[in-house]
Structure 1
């Protein structure tokens, strides 16, 4: 289940993320996919700058942050047990500026960032891996018919 909290000034519907959430959850945690929850916080540049400073020691704003929770995928959970994966924070203000600069929609930019952040939740980390995050992101972005991936356009 996806829990969206929209603190931005933009009208958004959590349904825009639902298909991505369900597809990636089934792909990476098939045995638990029906029990997973993920919080998504849509906010602004000031809030993401504050979080980026506190949690990453970087005093600038950013487009997406991921805060994964540890989940034991080998544990036996009761069928009615909900498993929280963590939180993804997306900067809608910066997303809109990037979308306009690149000529696509705010919704597509938010989906790109959601995929990027979701892969971080599942343990991918482009800052220290050998391209696995980039590869996975590219595959999912192509599957969902989205513009160029975040990692690809930043390299």
Structure 2
């Protein structure tokens, strides 16, 4: 189940996001859409990184029947990246959602020897989305 807090009041590919969520977990996932300033504050508070970012994940794993966690997406950065790469804003939101969901499911691209990248690429192919976030980051 997906609950959405759309602070940016942007158009979201809700049906696709709900499908992605339902196909990968039976737990509730919260999606929060924020602006760059709010994301900067979250990144500083939770990761001690003094800049904005595109997506953050906050797992909840202390309780057996708790939601899976929250995914926070910076819509301003997502829209900028979509324009830069020439694809739809909604596709970029879906890419970031997949990336965040995989983190909530326990994957960590910094330590899992390519497992998250493999899963991300499979999901992106399945949902006919543009190049994965991990692949784009590695190309820079």
TM range (shorter): over 0.9
1:66 and 1:120 in contact (8 A); partners too: yes
TM-score by length of 1: 0.84
Q: Cα RMSD over matched residues?
A: 1.5
| SS across alignment from 2:61 | coil
Q: Supply the distance in 1 between the matched residues of 2:5 and 2:78 (Cα, whole angstroms).
A: 16
Aligned to 2:4: 4
Aligned to 1:18: 18
| SS across alignment from 1:84 | coil
Aligned to 1:51: 42
> 5+ residue gaps in structure 2?
none
Aligned to 1:140: 123
Aligned to 2:97: 114
Residue 114 of structure 2 corresponds to residue 123 of structure 1: no
Q: Supply the distance in 1 between the matched residues of 2:91 and 2:129 (Cα, whole angstroms).
A: 6
Aligned to 1:78: none
Aligned to 1:88: 71
> 5+ residue gaps in structure 1?
26-32, 76-81
Q: Supply the distance in 1 between the matched residues of 2:29 and 2:62 (Cα, whole angstroms).
A: 12
Q: Supply the distance in 1 between the matched residues of 2:58 and 2:123 (Cα, whole angstroms).
A: 20
Q: Which moved more, 1:15-24 or 1:88-97?
A: 15-24
Q: Supply the distance in 1 between the matched residues of 2:42 and 2:59 (Cα, whole angstroms).
A: 14
Q: Supply the distance in 2 between the matched residues of 1:120 and 1:11 (Cα, whole angstroms).
A: 24
Between structure 1 and structure 2, the one with the greater Rg is 1
